[in-house]
Amino acid sequence: MRPGAQPNMQQVLQQAQKMQQQLAEAQAQLAVQEVTGTAGGGMVTATVTGAGDLRAIVINPEAVDPDDIETLQDLIVAAVRDANRVAQALAAETMGPITGGLGGLGGALGGLPGM
């Protein structure tokens, strides 16, 4: 496009619709992918989807000390945080190629349905 020329609105709308479809497909893919996070050297493992939904917590019996419930609670929180960090990285990797071309518009499109 020439500098100062107006963008073709039909092309802009087609690109936006294509991007919306790609984002929906990527979100659906993330919703079924599972990642894990751990804490305490594997004493607690959390499984979340790429969309961040918690699916499972696995606690090694050795982590259970009736006299120290606080440590177990901390390990669970840490494992969930670790799993969510991995899920966010997966989401960034999955969505990056789609949203990378938006430049400064990425945040502006976040409020649109399906974005």
pTM for the complete prediction? Answer: 0.67
Is residue 53 in some structural domain?
Answer: yes
CATH number, residue 54: 3.30.1310.10
Provide the number of structural domains found in the chain: 1
The pair of structure tokens assigned to 52 is 């961040």
Q: Return all residues near 23 (Cβ < 8 A) that are at least 6 apart.
A: 95, 98, 99, 114, 115
Is residue 57 in some structural domain?
Answer: yes
- Find the mean pLDDT for residues 22-32: 84
User: How far is 40 from 36, CA to CA, in rounded Å?
Assistant: 14
For the segment 42-83, what is each residue's pLDDT rounded down to a tens digit?
999 999 998 889 999 999 999 999 999 999 999 999 999 999
Q: What pLDDT score was predicted for residue 1?
A: 53
On whether the CB atoms of residues 102 and 70 are closer than 8 A, the answer is no
Q: What pLDDT score was predicted for residue 48?
A: 94
3 state SS of 47 = strand
User: How far is 14 from 101, CA to CA, in rounded Å?
Assistant: 15
**pLDDT(38) > 90:** yes
